[in-house]
Amino acid sequence: MSIGAGIGIANFTFDDAKGFWQWVDLCDSGGVDSIWQSDRIIGADDNLECMSVMAALTGRTKRLKFGMNVASLGLRDPVLTAKACATIDVLSEGRLLPAFGVGSAVSRDYVATGTPTKGRGERAAEGLEILTRLWSEDKVNFTGKHYQLIDATIAPKPVQKPMPLWVGGSAQQAIERTARWGTGWQAGIENADDIRPVIDGIKVRTEALGRLMDPDHFGAGFGFRFGSPDEPIVARYNQLLSARLGKPASGFTAVGDTDEMMTLAREFLAAGARKFILRPIASGTADMLNQTKLMIERLMPEIDALNPNRKTRPKN
């Protein structure tokens, strides 16, 4: 069993680029496993474009892995995406963790880019096959409803063989896409009760297709803050999360100290998750750095201790 945790960001909450790089350096030197950037193009909140972040992290970091949480393949051309991922994986010497989903039907990203929401699931399914085959085959011929390829080749191929392919989504169609093409599954904003039937469904369907998926490659995430539930930043976070979910935010965040966070982590473990994307509830560079330092010093050792053959974490 291998249990691990990375750190996730959505909004660009840093004071400036310098603050962002301070945070990245802290994650890289502090032993954080991976950084995961959410995908959002259109919106008033500050958000970085996730594929650009992957390329930037390639040049800045030395040991960190990094992935998208998750990129909307219904919006992106799969050939260009396959080439970009292969390039990033080569230049990072095998540290990219590609992760894709369909994307929300109500996202303004579709409208702004002139991309129809109808058929986005079919496009994503075809795209996952194209990605997988371009990363591993020398000549790809593909005839689908949305994409056609004749003797298509990309070079260089990714360093990782096979290239990881994490898939997001909880609908039955997402379970099918994950079982057919994924090497892992990453939950969205879901609690332990939400993810349990999805993980079970993926395992059943994967076995029926004659594929093997590492049982440790099921991921979940939650927001965390070392502090008090009474802090205004926590109230704002829960208010926005509740509005987005249409229900109370309980079971999606852990606020307090390591006991509260590990209680929630163990709920996800019991549901089948083995990888975590922990999202700091923070605002501004100083706050993000502080919350991340506390995560590294207090929370990561507790998560590492869940592994029977844990390794010593690197020191800062």
Element (H, E) at 51: helix 50-60
Mean pLDDT of the chain: 94
Whole-number pLDDT of residue 315 = 46
Instruction: Write down the number of H helices and E strands in the chain.
Output: 11, 13
Tens-place pLDDT, residues 189-218: 999 999 999 999 999 999 999 998 999 999
DSSP state string for 20-48:
HHHHHHHHHHHT--EEEE----SSSS-B-
pLDDT in tens, 64-88: 999 999 999 999 999 999 999 999 9
Strands 184-186 and 166-168: parallel
pLDDT, one tens digit per residue, over 141-178 is: 999 999 999 999 999 999 999 999 999 999 999 999 99
Picking from 129, 138, 184, 142, the residue whose alpha carbon sits closest to that of residue 157 is 138
C-alpha torsion 112→113→115→117, nearest 10:
-40
Give me the domains of the chain, ranges plus CATH numbers.
Answer: 4-304 (3.20.20.30)
* pLDDT at residue 282 in the model: 98
